[in-house]
A and B are shown apart, each in its own frame.
Chain A
Amino acid sequence: MATNASSQVVRTGAGARFVIYTLLAIFCLYYLLPLYVMVVNSLKPLSEIQAGGMMSLPREWTVAPWQSAWATAQIGVAATGLKPYFVNSILMVVPAVAISTVLGALNGYVLTKWRFRGDTIIFGLLLFGCFIPFQMVLIPMARMLGLMGLAGTVPGLVFVHLVYGIGFSTLYFRNYYQQFPTELVRAAMIDGAGFFTIFRRIMLPSSGPIAVVCIIWQFTNIWNDFLFGASFSDFDSQPMTVALNNLVQSSTGVKEYNVHFAGAIMAALPTLLVYIVAGRYFVRGLMAGSVKG
C-alpha cells in the first residue's frame, strides 16, 4: 500500500530534510511537555513539589508515589490505591468495546451491501446521535436503567456505552465497507451464500484495520469516561476513572500531586498500550477506508 504514497513522487533536498526533521522534533516537544511535567513530578517527594520547582528534575528520585497510587493511596474510606478498580474498568470496557464493534460492523455491512429504502435516513439518525451532550441524558438514562433493572450494575454501564458508541462505530465500518467491492458480495449471493455467511467469510477477513480503528476509538472513550462511570455504577462497580477522580479531587485535604500524576499515568497505560501495539494498524486502517468515506 505504501507503494503509491505521494512521498514516492515528492523529492526533497538535504536542506529541506533538515528543516522537516527540526519541525517534527519541535512538535514532539510540544506533545511531550505535559507528559514530562507529569513523569518528573511523579518521581519527586511531595516536599520538593511544594517548595516550587515544578518543572525541574527531581533532586531526590523516588518511586514511592507510584507504589502509593497503585496500592496504598486513599480512594475512599479504604486505602486500596487504584489496583482494585482496574478490574471493574476492564469488566466494563471489554464487553462494551467488543459488542459495539461487532454491532457497528453488522450495521456497516447492512448499510452498504443490503441497502433498502430509508437506510440513508437511518444512518443519518445514527450519526447525529453522536452529538448528543452526555450531561443531558443523565437523568432520563438513570430512569430507564432503573426500569430495566440494570441500575448500578456493570451490564448497565456496558449498555450505556453501547448506546452512545454505536454511532461512531457504524460510521467507521460503513465508510470502510463502502470501498469494498460490491461485486464480490453479489457473486457470493448468486452462489447461494446467506447473510451471515457472506459477512463471516468475505467481509470479516478484510475488516482487521477498521476494526482496530474502531476499537481504539471506543476503548479510549469508554476507558476515559467519568460521568457515566460515576453516575451509573455502584459501590462495587466503580470504574478506574472514578477512583482516579477521587484520588485527585480532594476538597479539603492535602493534595499529593506526585501521587496524582503517578495515578494518571498508570490509568492511561492500558490505552497507551493499545495505541502502541495497534498504532501501525491504526493508520493503515484509516488509510484503507474510513477517511475516503
Chain B
Amino acid sequence: MRSTIGKTVAAFAVLASSVSFAHAGDVEVLHWWTSGGEAAALNVLKQDLEKQGIGWQDMPVAGGGGTQAMTVLRARVTSGNAPTAVQMLGFDITDWAKEGALANLNDVASAEGWDDVVPGALQKFSKYDGQWVAAPVNVHSTNWVWANKAILDELGIAQPTTWDELVAAMQAVKDAGKVAVAHGGQAWQDATVFDAVAMATGGPEFYQKAFIDLDPDTLGSDTMKEAFDRMAVIRSFVDDNFSGRDWNLASAMVINGEAAFQFMGDWAKGEFLNAGKAPGEDFLCFRFPGTQDQVTFNSDQFALFKQGDTPSDEQAALAKAIMSPTFQSAFNVVKGSVPARVDVPDADFDACGKQGMKDLAAASSSGNLFGSMAHGHANPASIKNAMYDVITAHFNGEYDSETAVSELVSAVELAQ
C-alpha cells in the first residue's frame, strides 16, 4: 500500500521539479520562522547561498508551531508543486521519508562528515533507512527553569535541585504573595511541563519506556500516577488566570517580578534578553530539578524534497550551508537554541547558551539525550496529541490522577 503512494508522491515530486525549475538555480524554502530574530538569523543562510549564485525564494507560513506549514506542505505536494526545502520537526521527517518524497543527502553528509558531529539521538530523525534526508539546524532543549533572581534572593531561596526543594521554594514564593509559577494554559505548554516532571519522577528509563516505546504497563504505572500528582501540585502554584495565556506573557511575568519560575524551553531566553535582562544577574536558567543530567530536545531540520534521482546542486549547497559551523553558531546565538553539531565553538554564546551546549554534549555521550514528547520528538503526531488531550484535561481539573493514567493508556491505544 505504502509503496504505491510513495511512487505517486515521488512522481508528483518529479513533476514539481519541472515546475520549480522554471527558475533554475533557485531554492524555494517553506518555513515558519517569521519573528524578527529568527527570520533575521535565517537571512544569514539566504545571503550565504546568494554568494554562491543561488536565489532564495521565501515561502513562510507561520502558526501552531509549524502545523500550519505542514498543512500547506501537504497541499503543495499533492498538487505537484513541492517546495525545494522544508523546515520540519521530528516524526514529520520520518513520515515524509516513508512516503519516499525526500532526497538522499548521503553524498553531502559523508563528504562533510555529518555522522561524526551530529548527536545520535538527532540522527534518528535526520536519517531514514540509513540515508540522510534532513539537515538539522539547531537543538532546543525543553527541560529548563527560568527564574527571577531578585525574588529568589529576597526570599533566600537557593536554586532548587530536587522536587522537594522545588515544592518548598514554590511554597515560599506563594507565601510571600507572589505567583510561584508563571504558566500558560495551552496544551503544548502543559505538556512541556509534564515532560520535565515525568523525566524527574521516573528517570530516563521510565521516560524511554513510556513515551518512546509506548509500553502500556509503564504508561499505566504508579510512577505515571505520581507524575500526574506532581502536576496537580504545580497546578496549585499557578495563578488563577493561567488558561490560554501565551508562553511569552508568562515569561513577562517572571521578567517583571510578578512570578518566580517558568518551566519552558530555551526559546524563552530571547524574551529575557529582549527585555534587557542579563543571565546570571537578573534571571537564572537551570535544568528542571531532578533532570540535571538529562536533556529533552526538539530539533528544527530542513528536509529536501526529491527533484530527481540525486539532489540538485542547489539542494546540496543548501544542505552544506545549513551544516556549516559558522551558520550554526550565528543562527543559534540569535535563536536561543544550541548548534546541532557538537564541534561548534561556544565563544559567541552567553552563559545559558554555553551551559546548554555543555549539557547537550554530556547528555549525548552518556545516553541521556531524549526526544521531547511535548515537542513531537518522542512519538508521532497522533500519539503526541492524544497525550496532550489527557495531560491538559488533568491539568485543568477534568480528571484526577488515577483517571488520567487510565485515560492515557486508552488514548495512546486509540491513536496508534
The interface of chain A, by Cβ under 8 A from chain B, is 50-51, 74-79, 138-139, 141-143, 145-146, 151-152, 230-232, 234-236, 238, 242, 245-256
Whether A78 pairs with B58 at a CB distance below 8 angstroms is yes
Contact of A77 among B42, B83, B252, B336 (CB under 8 A): B42
Tell me whether B35 and A252 are in contact (CB under 8 A). Answer: yes
Cα separation A253 to B274 with both chains bound (whole Å) = 10
Please measure, in the bound complex, the distance between the C-alpha atom of A143 and the C-alpha atom of B80, giving whole angstroms.
8
Q: How distant is B280 from chain A, measured CB to nearest CB, in Å?
A: 21
A77 to B36, CA, bound (A): 9
Any A CB within 8 A of the CB of B117: no
C-alpha gap A255/B267 in the complex (Å)? 13
Instruction: Report how far A221 CA is from B46 CA in the complex, Å.
Output: 35
> Which residue among B28, B46, B248 has the maximum number of chain A CB atoms within 10 Å of its CB?
B248
Pick from A235, A247, A256: contact of B58, CB below 8 A. A235
Cross-chain contact B62 with A152 (CB below 8 angstroms): no
Q: Are B57 and A251 in contact (CB under 8 A)?
A: no
Q: In the complex, are the beta carbons of A254 and B79 less than 8 A apart?
A: no
Show the binding face of B for A, using Cβ within 8 Å. 12, 15, 19, 28, 31-40, 42-43, 46, 56-66, 68, 71-72, 74-76, 78-81, 83, 246, 248, 252, 256, 265, 267, 270-271, 274-275, 335-336
A256 surroundings in chain B (CB, below 8 A): 36
CA A141 to CA B74, docked complex, whole Å: 11
- Bound state CA distance, A143 and B252, in angstroms? 45
Q: Known interface pairs A235-B57, A253-B270. Does A74 touch B19 (Cβ–Cβ under 8 Å)?
A: no
Q: Which A residues are CB-close (under 8 A) to B15?
A: 146
Contacts of B28 in A (CB 8 A): 234-235
Docked pose: A254 CA to B38 CA in angstroms: 10
- Bound together, the chains give a CA A147 to CA B256 distance in angstroms of 55
Contact B58 A142 (CB under 8 A): no
| Residues from chain A with Cβ under 8 Å of B46 in the complex | 77
A79 to B37, CA, bound (A): 11
Evaluate contact between A138 and B71: CB separation under 8 angstroms: yes
Task: Find A151's partner among B74, B79, B256 (CB 8 Å cutoff).
Answer: B79
- Tell me the nearest residue of chain B to A153, going by C-beta: B81
CB distance from A213 to the nearest CB of B (A): 31
Which chain A positions have C-beta within 8 A of B62?
245-246, 248-251
A249 to B247, CA, bound (A): 13
- The answer for the CA separation of A142 and B66 in the assembled complex, in Å, is 20
Known: A230-B68, A249-B68. A77 touches B60 (CB 8 A): yes
In chain A, what residue has the closest Cβ to B83?
Answer: A235
Q: How far is the CA of A23 from the CA of B68 in the complex (A)?
A: 42
| B64 in contact with A74 (CB, 8 Å) | no
Q: Give B179 Cβ to nearest chain A Cβ, in Å.
A: 14
A74 touches B40 (CB 8 A): yes
The 7 closest A-B CB pairs, nearest first, are: A253-B35, A250-B35, A76-B60, A146-B79, A151-B79, A252-B267, A231-B75
> Can you offer 23 A-B residue contacts whose CB atoms are under 8 A?
A76-B39, A78-B43, A138-B74, A141-B75, A142-B76, A142-B78, A146-B12, A151-B19, A151-B76, A151-B80, A231-B76, A235-B83, A245-B63, A245-B68, A246-B62, A249-B34, A251-B32, A251-B35, A251-B65, A252-B35, A252-B335, A254-B271, A256-B36
Q: Are B271 and A152 in contact (CB under 8 A)?
A: no
Which B residues lie within 8 Å of A230 (CB)? 61, 68, 71-72
The residue of chain A having its C-beta at the shortest distance from the C-beta of B36 within the complex is A74
Taking a contact as CB atoms under 8 Å apart, the answer to whether B80 and A252 are in contact is no
